[in-house]
Amino acid sequence: MHWLSQRRRLKDIYFGRDCTNLIDKSMEALPDIRRTAESPVEGAARRLNAGQLGANYVGRMEYGPRALGARSILANPSRRETHDLLNKRLSRSEFMPFAPVITAEKAATVFDVSPSPLMGR
């Protein structure tokens, strides 16, 4: 089959628009959202531990319907209140699950199932 010989490995999947400037300008108009001078990682960890929500957006969006790191909602999944709050704020139902991000080494301490070997590829 000719098309098989034409395949190429993708360098990345970030084929969407880069909305960084648009998002930055939109956030300036929202009174409850602000940037801080602290380290993004340390600030996110502190806020998540306190039960607060956050967001991450970096560069171009991923191709496809799922957020894979370039645009993500950040929330502490160990708190039931967080799940309920996100469903309410995003007009979601219980049948629309969130996909947590966790290292494979820590997965067994959080979930009752083993991580799939296909995840994280």
Show Cβ contacts of residue 33 under 8 Å, excluding neighbours closer than 6 positions. Answer: 27
To the nearest whole percent, how much of the chain has pLDDT over 70?
84
Name the pLDDT band for 2 (thresholds 50, 70, 90): confident
According to the model, what pLDDT value does residue 119 have? 47
Give the tens place of pLDDT for each residue, 49-89.
Answer: 888 888 777 778 777 666 566 777 888 877 778 888 888 88
Q: What is the pLDDT of residues 23-40, one digit of tens each?
A: 778 878 887 777 777 887
3 state SS of 113: coil
